[in-house]
Amino acid sequence: MQTVVGDPAKTNLLSFEPAALTDWVAGIGQKPFRAKQLLKWLHQRTATDFSVMTDLAKDFRAELESLACIQTLPILKDHLSADGTRKWLLDAGQNNAIETVFIPEDDRGTLCVSSQAGCTVACRFCSTGHQGFARNLTTDEIIGQLHMANRLLDTPVTNVVMMGMGEPLLNFDAVVPALRLMLDDNAYGLSRRRVTVSTSGVVPMMDRLAQACPVALAVSLHAPTDALRDDLVPINKKYPLAELMAACRRYLQVAPRDFITFEYVMLDGVNDQPEQAWALIDLVRSYDVYCKFNLIPFNPFPQSGLKASPRSTIRQFATILSDAGIVTTIRKTRGDDIDAACGQLAGEIKDKTQISGRMAAQRQEQPVRFQSRGRP
Ligand code: SAH
Ligand code: SF4
């Protein structure tokens, strides 16, 4: 299937962070306040065409029509889970799909956003890592996921986590402008505390993020020793634990929250033993990193050769950390019935002519529904 994504001769306005949009608008001879109006239409009101922008001067609108477009990735599938989790598969072209997941909770709605099609880090427990790497997403493709979600959901997104496919800090130049749009009051207006970048530990880029756009930080730790982490998260060979911990400490000086969240996927017999919990406590104490732990139940997939830790083991591990005074949560698994649980992202769509058995069954039970908020 050939995907047509807009007119290549036109500029996709979703690709501009606020300052860049102002420059572009100035470049076509318009005043800065026009850029602010346009930014609001594009992101606050999630417009998809210029005709709705009725408070813009007619000649300006005509110029926009001829030069620019507003384009998000085409939706391949839209699944709603029994627990309200909603997953979109988006067509990134050339037989690549990326995934965006919305997780509603009582007091908030969190959007899990992808930053790359595939990932080069190749963690052993991650299905994205096993698919290899296709390409970086562009700023418009990243912010377009939030644009699309706010357009289609009944309740707007209140929190964003960069925890979909890909390693956000290995696509820094496209991710940072998207983060700036998330934070801008004339765009999505989210506070820095409600936007989280999750990284496997790209140390130099953690420092650059601290400078460029210090949002909340989650670090995928997964192991208390270099020997085990080298095996599970191969980027550890380049940036070992001592460097990672030092980078976390530096980040805390500018972070919007006074802790780093350590993610830790629980793998049966691999990293889930009591002595490994004690080693984690020693690790974070010796580097004096104020942190919280988020224990993630592993979503198994055949090629990984790994198994999920039993519930009781996860609870015991959490208790050891909590008893040492470290706030520890166990991630709820959400959207299991639609393969939206983390680590399941988009693998099944590599060959778009095939839909996995689980997903096909789900589709029959729950037909795809597109909801429109009726907003411009
Ligand atoms: N690349 C970044 C962000 C995307 S991965 C990172 O690694 O932090 C987001 C989270 O999903 C990571 O903590 C990762 O460890 C977790 N994850 C990946 N595969 C998983 C699986 N099969 N089961 C449970 N969690 C998984
Ligand atoms: Fe990449 Fe994160 Fe998956 Fe590791 S866990 S392969 S860094 S997406």
pLDDT, position 226: 98
Count of domains observed in the chain: 2
| 26 Cα–ligand 1 center, Å | 41
CA distances, 118 to each of 69, 95, 221 (Å): 27, 12, 20
Do 249 and 314 lie in a common domain? yes
Which of the residues 99, 141, 167, 263 is marked catalytic?
A: 99
Do 217 and 173 lie in a common domain? yes
Which of the residues 248, 291, 342, 348 is marked catalytic?
A: 342
pLDDT, position 234: 98
Q: Which residues of 322-356 are buried (b: 16+ CB within 10 A; e: fewer)?
A: eeeebebebbebbbbbbbbbbbbbbbbbeeeeeee
Do 53 and 145 lie in a common domain? no
Q: Residue 228: inside a domain, yes or no?
A: yes
Annotated catalytic, 248? Answer: no
Annotated catalytic, 141? Answer: no
Ligand nearest to the backbone CA of 222: 1
Half-sphere exposure of 293 (CA within 13 A, CB side): 30
Q: How far apart are CA 369 and CA 153, in angstroms?
A: 11
Do 141 and 64 lie in a common domain? no
| 88 Cα–ligand 2 center, Å | 19
pLDDT, position 344: 59
Atom of ligand 1 nearest to the CA of 218: 8
Do 41 and 148 lie in a common domain? no
pLDDT one digit per residue (tens) for the chain, 376 residues: 334 456 778 999 999 999 999 999 999 999 999 999 999 999 999 999 999 999 999 999 999 999 999 999 999 999 999 999 999 999 999 999 999 999 999 999 999 999 999 999 999 999 988 889 999 999 999 999 999 999 999 999 999 999 999 999 999 999 999 999 999 999 999 999 999 999 999 999 999 999 999 999 999 999 999 999 999 999 999 999 999 999 999 999 999 899 999 999 999 999 999 999 999 999 999 999 999 999 999 999 888 999 999 999 999 999 999 999 999 999 987 776 666 555 555 655 443 323 232 232 222 222 222 222 223 2
| 280 Cα–ligand 1 center, Å | 19
Q: Residue 3: inside a domain, yes or no?
A: no
Q: Residue 257: inside a domain, yes or no?
A: yes
Distance, C-alpha 131 to centroid of its chain: 17
pLDDT, position 345: 54
Q: Which residues line ligand 2 (CB under 6 A)?
A: 119, 121-123, 126, 128-129, 166-167, 200, 220
Does the beta carbon of 338 sit less than 6 angstroms from any atom of ligand 1? no
Boundary (domain end) residue, out of 54, 69, 84: 69
The tokens describing 162, both together, are: 């960069």
Q: How far apart are CA 224 and CA 332, in angstroms?
A: 23
Does the beta carbon of 265 sit less than 6 angstroms from any atom of ligand 1? yes
Q: Residue 98: inside a domain, yes or no?
A: yes
Pocket test residue of 128, 165, 198, 206 for ligand 2, highest count of atoms within 8 A of CB:
128
Helix (H/G/I), strand (E/B), else coil: 329: strand
| 264 Cα–ligand 2 center, Å | 12
Helix (H/G/I), strand (E/B), else coil: 220: strand
Do 65 and 85 lie in a common domain? no
Q: Residue 276: inside a domain, yes or no?
A: yes
pTM of the model: 0.91
What CATH number has the domain bearing residue 25? 1.10.150.530
